[in-house]
Amino acid sequence: MSQTNTRLQMQQVYDESDCLYSLEELQQAVAEIGREISNVLADKNPILLSIMNGGLVFSGQLMPHLNFPLQLDYLHATRYRSETSGGDLDWLVEPSIDMKNRHVVILDDILDEGHTLKAIIDYCQAQGAGKVYTAVLLDKQHERKAFKGFKADFEGLKVEDRFVFGFGMDYQGYWRNAAGIYAVKGL
């Protein structure tokens, strides 16, 4: 497929999508997550781990709301590889900061089924983290979680069980830059 056809196809996906949350609603949710994390961890010298690529925008928006000493690192583990359904977990980059006896907050864009997030929690615990928390911008509402009752410690907004993109999340590698949360028509 040519670059022009890809661009036109991706524009059509955006044009036909449903806006579920505006940029303003997302910014309010991020600010609230920041308040909650601050209340729990301001005196704990935490490490924040941003999951690339989806967690990049969420992490960047969240950081100014955390007015206390912390360290930031990232990791890149994925099951999607620009696809719309997940496969095996692929570790591309591991964190570089020593987690031993530290409070760790994993930052991710969305809690869907949670297989990737659960594997990262297990990884942090195996590295000796003192306590592991999770913070997600969105929690997808369905019954297919990695294990019953799985939820994030800090969560922004709930989203219906559709394929969503924007604010760091992609659709086939595109639209991470969309200023809102959008649902693909038919998915």
**Residue 162, in any domain of the structure:** yes
Identify the pLDDT of residue 87: 57
**Residue 185, in any domain of the structure:** no
- Residue bearing the bigger pLDDT, 23 or 3: 23
**Residue 186, in any domain of the structure:** no
Distance between CA atoms of residues 68 and 182, nearest Å: 33
pTM: 0.91
**Residue 41, in any domain of the structure:** yes
**Residue 1, in any domain of the structure:** no
- Residue bearing the bigger pLDDT, 176 or 77: 176
Q: Is 38 exposed, middle or buried (0-12, 13-18, 19+ CB in 10 A)?
A: middle
What is the average pLDDT across 183-187? 88
Q: How many domains does the chain have?
A: 1
Range of the domain at 55: 21-178
Identify the pLDDT of residue 71: 98
DSSP 152: -
